[in-house]
């Protein structure tokens, strides 16, 4: 689908600053549990999203992200707990607010455009029911122009590429100026190059509308690029909440750490407050003496220095990746290979002996089995 899209078109969204601003709403989940028969999709989840904040729900398939989004939209009712909009319970049986009355916009993973309606009619759909007539038309056209598709207003969804359909879905969601915007894996169907542009333009649009936004994704890069805060989920529960930098630099568990980086993991035992490994001793704060631990070495933290300095290693493979090289390095006493990303400008070849400088403060240490 994307192949049909011309470069100039996917690069040219509408003028920034022309999207209608929303009145952002506070959104909160209070002790939410959701069961589907024997499956507990969410267990006792509490989360507050500030007005205007952009939050990413990040996690592996099946961890409950979409279910949380559907509860916020009102297309699902919680088994226990409450969903609050502006502090008001909108999910309990005696105060339930229907999806169309919540002021919440939704972008589905498959975009869910009506195939028999044009782009303009799709975007106008949620507006026309408000009975605004000509004003609805103008609002829809403005939203379509903002996502750069004014010349496709009369096209049908099947005539559009995947990236264009995503933009129509986004235009449809923001046109009624929702106080809360919910997006389910909005970039997952896009190819990599297109994804970067769409992600950045979507972030600009979200900031412009000011809507409180929740974006579901399984891609940490999506989450870091677009969100003010990231909510990392696992098996129906929240594992950690923080900025992208918090989660990347200070993951609270081996599970969280692995989500953000392909570490080389090295097992060792804690001796006098540090874990002993073939790569050196790394501080193991809070871990008990004699316990088994895992040291996580970031590929980009390892510095290649001349042979004879620091720790000796031998380059087994070298892959040129453009701005950096990816190296796999053999180190005595380690039965696997150390993964290293470094910009070496071709100075290193396979078979070379090198020195490895591993800054201690770049190595994360967790209890073994803390997954
Ligand atoms: P994905 O990234 O694959 O969409 P997710 O993190 O969004 O995953 P959910 O779709 O929220 O996860 O699903 C969480 C769990 O609840 C899964 O085990 C799923 O199979 C189950 N589930 C979700 N909706 C239903 C349903 N309507 N009926 C039965 N089980 C469901």
Laid out side by side, the sheet with 104-107 consists of 104-107, 180-184, 212-217, 54-58, 229-234, 237-242
From 59, 65, 222, 223, the mutation candidate for ligand 1 (largest count of ligand atoms within 8 A of CB) is 65
pLDDT score of 188: 84
Contact 69, 217 (CB under 8 A): no
Contact 274, 282 (CB under 8 A): yes
| Gap from CA of 95 to ligand 1 centroid (Å) | 25
Q: Hey, whose CA ends up nearest to atom 21 of ligand 1?
A: 41
The closest alpha carbon to 281, from 292, 295, 261, 262, belongs to: 295
Give whichever of 98-102, 186-190, 233-237 has the largest mean pLDDT: 233-237
Contact residues for 245 (Cβ-Cβ < 8 A; gap 6+)? none
Ligand 1, closest atom to CA 68? 11
Dihedral angle sign, alpha carbons of residues 129, 111, 2, 260: positive
Ligand 1 environment, Cβ below 6 A: 36, 39, 41, 59, 61-67, 218
| Gap from CA of 267 to ligand 1 centroid (Å) | 34
Q: Report pLDDT digits (tens) over 18-53.
A: 666 668 899 999 999 999 999 999 999 999 999 999
Measure the CA–CA gap between 250 and 92, rounded to whole angstroms.
37
pLDDT at 10 over 70: no
Confidence bin at 154 (pLDDT 50/70/90): very high
Mean pLDDT calculated for residue range 64-87: 96
| Gap from CA of 156 to ligand 1 centroid (Å) | 31
Measure the CA–CA gap between 123 and 138, rounded to whole angstroms.
11
Contact 224, 244 (CB under 8 A): yes
338's enclosing H/E stretch is strand 337-342
Contact 310, 355 (CB under 8 A): yes
Ligand 1, closest atom to CA 37? 29
Q: Hey, whose CA ends up nearest to atom 2 of ligand 1?
A: 61
Mean pLDDT calculated for residue range 336-352: 88
Q: Hey, whose CA ends up nearest to atom 25 of ligand 1?
A: 36
| Gap from CA of 327 to ligand 1 centroid (Å) | 38
Mean pLDDT calculated for residue range 321-327: 89
Confidence bin at 6 (pLDDT 50/70/90): very low
Q: Please, what is the average pLDDT of the chain?
A: 89
Q: Hey, whose CA ends up nearest to atom 16 of ligand 1?
A: 41
Q: Report pLDDT digits (tens) over 170-180.
A: 999 999 999 99
Ligand 1, closest atom to CA 69? 11
**Cα 131 to chain centroid, rounded:** 37
Q: Hey, whose CA ends up nearest to atom 30 of ligand 1?
A: 36
| Gap from CA of 65 to ligand 1 centroid (Å) | 8
| Gap from CA of 99 to ligand 1 centroid (Å) | 19
pLDDT at 196 over 80: yes
Q: Hey, whose CA ends up nearest to atom 31 of ligand 1?
A: 36
pLDDT score of 20: 62
User: Which percentage of the chain shows pLDDT scores above 70?
Assistant: 91
Q: Does the pTM of the predicted model rise above 0.85?
A: yes
Give whichever of 5-9, 146-150, 292-296 has the largest mean pLDDT: 292-296
pLDDT at 1 over 70: no
Which has more pLDDT, 255 or 21?
255
Where do runs of H (alpha helix) occur along the chain?
Answer: 7-11, 65-73, 119-128, 134-146, 162-174, 192-209, 220-226, 244-249, 254-260
pLDDT score of 2: 41
Beta bridge partners of 328: 317, 339
pLDDT at 131 over 60: no
Which has more pLDDT, 277 or 136?
277
pLDDT score of 161: 87
Laid out side by side, the sheet with 27-36 consists of 39-49, 27-36, 80-85, 88-89
């Amino acid at each position: 689908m994307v192949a049909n899209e011309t470069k100039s078109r996917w690069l040219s969204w509408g003028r920034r600053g022309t999207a209608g601003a929303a009145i952002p709403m506070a959104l909160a989940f209070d002790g939410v549990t959701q069961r589907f028969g024997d499956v507990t999709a969410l267990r006792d989840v509490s989360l507050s999203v500030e007005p205007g904040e952009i939050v990413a729900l990040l996690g592996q398939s099946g961890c409950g992200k979409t279910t949380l989004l559907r509860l916020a939209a009102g297309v699902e009712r919680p088994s226990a707990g409450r969903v609050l909009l502006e502090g008001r319970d909108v999910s309990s049986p005696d105060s339930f607010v229907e999806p169309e009355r919540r002021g919440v916009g939704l972008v589905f993973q498959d975009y869910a455009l009506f195939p028999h309606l044009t782009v303009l009619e799709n975007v106008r759909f949620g507006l026309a029911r408000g009975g605004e007539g000509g004003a609805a038309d103008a609002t829809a056209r403005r939203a379509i122009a903002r996502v750069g598709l004014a010349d496709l207003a009369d096209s049908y969804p099947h005539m559009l590429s995947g990236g264009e359909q995503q933009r129509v879905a986004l235009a449809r969601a923001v046109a009624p100026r929702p106080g809360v915007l919910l997006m389910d894996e909005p970039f997952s169907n896009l190819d990599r190059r297109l994804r970067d542009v769409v992600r950045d333009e979507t972030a600009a649009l979200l900031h412009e509308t000011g809507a409180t936004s929740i974006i579901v994704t399984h891609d940490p890069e999506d989450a870091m690029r677009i969100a003010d805060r990231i909510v990392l989920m696992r098996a129906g529960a929240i594992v950690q909440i923080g900025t992208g930098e918090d989660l990347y630099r200070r993951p609270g568990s081996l599970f969280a750490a692995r989500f953000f980086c392909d570490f080389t993991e090295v097992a060792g035992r804690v001796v006098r407050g540090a874990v002993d490994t073939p790569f050196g001793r790394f501080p193991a704060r809070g871990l008990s003496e004699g316990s088994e631990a895992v040291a996580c070495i970031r590929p980009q933290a390892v510095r290649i220095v001349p042979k004879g300095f620091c720790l000796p290693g031998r380059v087994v493979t070298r892959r040129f990746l453009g701005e950096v090289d990816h190296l796999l390095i053999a180190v005595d006493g380690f039965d696997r290979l150390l993964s290293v990303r470094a910009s070496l400008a071709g100075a290193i070849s396979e078979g070379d002996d090198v020195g490895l400088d591993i800054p201690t403060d770049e190595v994360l240490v967790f209890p073994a089995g803390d997954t």
